[in-house]
Amino acid sequence: MVQIPDWVQDTIFYQIFPDRFAKSDRVPKPGNLEAWDSRPTVYGFKGGDLLGVTEHLDYLQELGITAIYFTPIFQSTANHRYHTHDYYRVDPILGGDAAFSELLQAARARNIRVIIDGVFNHASRGFYQFNHILENGAASPYVNWFNIRGYPLHAYEGKPVNYDAWWGIPALPKMNTNLRAVREFIFGVAEHWIRLGVNGWRLDVPAEIDDDSFWQEFRRRVKTANADSYIVGEIWHEAQRWLQGDQFDAVMNYQFTRACIGFFIGENTDESLTTNVGFQTYPPLDASGFAYTINHLLSLYDRAITNAQMNLLDSHDTARFISIAKGDQSALRLATLFQMTYPGAPSVYYADEIGMPGGKDPDCRRTFPWNSPGQWDTSLLQYFKDCIALRKRYAALRYGEFRFVYAEERTIAYLRSLDDQRFVVVINAGAETTVNIVIHPEFGLPEGTSLTCLADPKTLYLVRNGQLSVHIGKREGVVLMAQSQTPVKTP
């Protein structure tokens, strides 16, 4: 039986890129920081830190967030910190270990969990064991930690790299995970942070460690440290190999992202922002194509794993959804409604909820405009809050049965049901229309059932003559909740 932490399916994740979310006056900073409100660059630092996050936990709590996923926080010389120097030390620019400890304590007091990014396929030129080889060459006792093809190491541009490096980038030497000492080092890191109170790991490019036994042992060690820990891998494609219950609990569900772009944005997609990104988007999907794609995704894994998938619309590695949609806010609203009423764990990329745009990396990593509220779309923010609150209020919208009941042209409708809860969600990605949904006996909506529109409780819909008729506006979505199942006389 597949064992997944129960809390995940009830969770709303919020992804934070630490250098860009918020900064605190309590964290001393080095000089030469870029202006907070300037566009991000490849190498520049803005000075965001973990105490800045702590000081904005009330904001996240009001939004409805129950878990934070941080991109890397360990000591590094890159603003994104995927070039790890020290896996046992939080970056001092982020406030160091003390700031992280304070953040964990404050988050725990608000029932907000924290997962962190594990970059275990590759390290950096500043990683102690690799730096030892840079200084000592073949005499270093750590030469077997990496696959080296000659000395001295060609660790900078100018000569061909003579050691295994991720994508051939000299700054990212690949660790030799076949070596027991390396494996034990990584497993020790994983255990250490879990024991300190972290609630799980997001694993960077885990497919690069092409070894099931490595990830099986990783899982055993993490789950032994805390059986309730969450392990989610960055796999951009279908991930059956890793989701058998013996390696990861879930993956970042970029297949879900692709489907949402294909349907909710469709022909309006800015393809310049979706090429060479890590996934190939679908061609524009109509309702039936979207339903087929989603049903396929729901069939891939055990239901417990499906309910734990990290469902995202964008991330630090992609352009922002609203920019892919060429600024069409309706696409983001419809996709968010679907995300919040779909099985799995929704993940919101920081500042999406206020409509912040962003192109490809590094533009998708802009700073949160805390001091520029005029840049916030407060209506969109309220919409996010409402969708999140709706999901949190009703268990059926989190892990009830999911069934498409209508998919024609540009309109979909689906049933979410759990015990005596029944919801019909209708999302119209096209022009104003009326949909007539045939209600089959297995839907649990017998003749005469009345359904309330949750956005407008005065509006009622009735199952009559085996159908539910819903008039819906252009690019609009509604959630209908069954109120009464008392049979009534129909004309």
Average pLDDT over residues 195-214: 98
What distance, in Å, lies between the first and last C-alpha atoms of the chain?
Answer: 50
pLDDT at 474 over 60: yes
Average pLDDT over residues 49-66: 98
Chain center to CA of 455 = 27
What pLDDT, on the 0 to 100 scale, is given for residue 194? 98
CA distance to 298, 300, 306, 338, 342, per residue, from 402 (Å):
9, 14, 11, 12, 8
In degrees and rounded to multiples of 5, residue 55 shows phi and psi of -70, -10
Average pLDDT over residues 449-470: 94
- CA 233 – CA 205 distance, rounded (Å): 7
Average pLDDT over residues 387-396: 97
What pLDDT, on the 0 to 100 scale, is given for residue 491? 33
- CA 425 – CA 422 distance, rounded (Å): 10
Question: Do the beta carbons of residue 432 and residue 473 sit within 8 Å?
Answer: yes
Q: What is the percentage of the chain residues whose pLDDT exceeds 90?
A: 95
Work out whether strand 401-408 and strand 345-349 pair parallel, antiparallel, or are unpaired: unpaired
Question: Do the beta carbons of residue 13 and residue 346 sit within 8 Å?
Answer: yes
Average pLDDT over residues 376-396: 98
pLDDT at 485 over 60: no
Average pLDDT over residues 445-470: 94
Residues 6+ apart with CB under 8 A from 105: none
What pLDDT, on the 0 to 100 scale, is given for residue 207? 98
Ranges assigned E (strand) in 215-314: 230-233, 250-251, 310-312
Question: Do the beta carbons of residue 73 and residue 117 sit within 8 Å?
Answer: yes
Sketch out the chain's domains with CATH numbers. Answer: 6-121+177-393 (3.20.20.80), 400-484 (2.60.40.1180)
Q: How confident is the model at residue 363 (pLDDT cuts 50, 70, 90)?
A: very high
What pLDDT, on the 0 to 100 scale, is given for residue 1? 73
pLDDT, the chain, mean: 96
Tokens of 28: 């001393």
Average pLDDT over residues 254-274: 97
Going by the DSSP 8-state scheme, the letter that residue 484 receives in this structure is: E
- CA 372 – CA 145 distance, rounded (Å): 48
pLDDT at 489 over 90: no
What pLDDT, on the 0 to 100 scale, is given for residue 168? 95
Q: Which of 352, 407, 354 is nearest to 378 (CA)?
A: 354
Average pLDDT over residues 253-274: 97
Question: Do the beta carbons of residue 263 and residue 285 sit within 8 Å?
Answer: yes
**Type of residue at 412:** I
**Type of residue at 306:** T
Q: How confident is the model at residue 483 (pLDDT cuts 50, 70, 90)?
A: confident
Average pLDDT over residues 119-123: 98
Average pLDDT over residues 56-84: 98
Question: Do the beta carbons of residue 173 and residue 123 sit within 8 Å?
Answer: yes
Work out whether strand 450-453 and strand 476-484 pair parallel, antiparallel, or are unpaired: antiparallel
Tell the residue number behind the tokens 């022909």, with chain if given. Answer: 267
- CA 347 – CA 13 distance, rounded (Å): 4
Question: Any idea which residues carry the catalytic annotation?
Answer: 204, 234
Average pLDDT over residues 339-346: 98
- CA 151 – CA 427 distance, rounded (Å): 61
